[in-house]
Amino acid sequence: MKSVLLVGAGNLGRRHLQSLKACQLPIRIFVVEPYEEARSLAESAYQATESNAPEKEIGFYSDLGQIDQQIDIAVVSTPASGRLEILRDVLALGAKDVVLEKVAFNSVAAIDEASALVEQYQARAWVNCPRRLNPFYQQLRRALEDDPIESFEVEGGNFGMACNAIHFLDLCAFLSRQSSYQITLAGVREVVPSKRSNYIEFFGEVAGSFESGPAFKIACHESGHGVSFTIKLVTQSAQYLIDEVNGTVEIIDAKGDRQQQGFRQPYQSELTGPLIDEIIQQQRCGLTNFTESMSLHRPFIDAAYRLYAEKYEENSLKMVPIT
């Protein structure tokens, strides 16, 4: 029986935990969450989740130091600040497979040290950018193999560009089969405190291009109308207008003919269980592998820190406070 460790059982961690209940393979679950209220909410959510999967052994703990046995798989759902230390701890507990939330790390130095740790422990690791698991995006990737993307744009309001830009960079990389890019944050007009204490948010425009195309732009504006964004892909033969919030995809061909279809991005509470089953059975999964994700993180985190230092304040760790 494999041992699965979940570190962090806040809002997103609870979704991971609910989905772990749906694992079809027998697993033993260890949940580490330092805050008693979050731990209690997570336990209640787990017990309330209905599942036809085999019953799991599960334990809740307040500190990683209370885990006194070897772990096989770790899901790290904590803020980016401090995640490097947690990665070091879970690898020392024996975890050979690790899933990290994004942004994985918020400094270039942490990216370098984490990369060295993963190599030292010969672990497999992935970063949770789950659009890669969506059947629509998988199908679109296959379609674009013979019709490459010329431009990739995301535009909307209040979608949290600082912490979510990596999701869109990852999606562009996935669809275009590229991983090396250049980026500028010169179009970011505002660096402001986030709704989450001690973090910041960006408003404005991020732009750049992948080494062999496409060009990309991510624009986020402050709005009084809630979260909205549209992803626009342009190829030689078509345009794709993807509205994840409203669940629609419009495809416009070269003749101007339009077709529309429904779209759904699965919830995290639907994804983690099948993901862990796949890791156990095949020692792989469909998320972004660690090496590729770090190559996508590095240019963005480097540029984001320089922007933060210029418009806000410097710090000795060269860490940009996003999560």
Helix H or strand E segment including 43: helix 36-48
Mutual angle of helices 290-311 and 161-176, in 10-degree steps: 140
Look at the block and give the residue holding tokens 């709005």.
223
pLDDT digits (tens, 9 = 90+) for 96-124: 999 999 999 999 999 999 999 999 999 99
Given the structure tokens 């095949």, which residue do they identify? 282
Distance CA 29, CA 57 (A): 6
Residues of the chain with pLDDT under 70: none
d(CA 21, CA 286): 20
Question: Which residues does 113 contact at the CB level (< 8 Å), separation at least 6?
Answer: 84
**Residues 166, 295: Cα–Cα separation, whole Å:** 11
d(CA 31, CA 57): 11
Instruction: Kindly report the three-state secondary structure assignment for every residue of 192-211.
Output: EECCCCCCEEEEEEEEEEEC
Q: Which are the contacts of 218, defined by CB distance < 8 A and separation ≥ 6?
A: 153, 154, 155, 161, 165, 168, 169, 205, 206, 207
Q: What is the pLDDT of residue 196?
A: 84
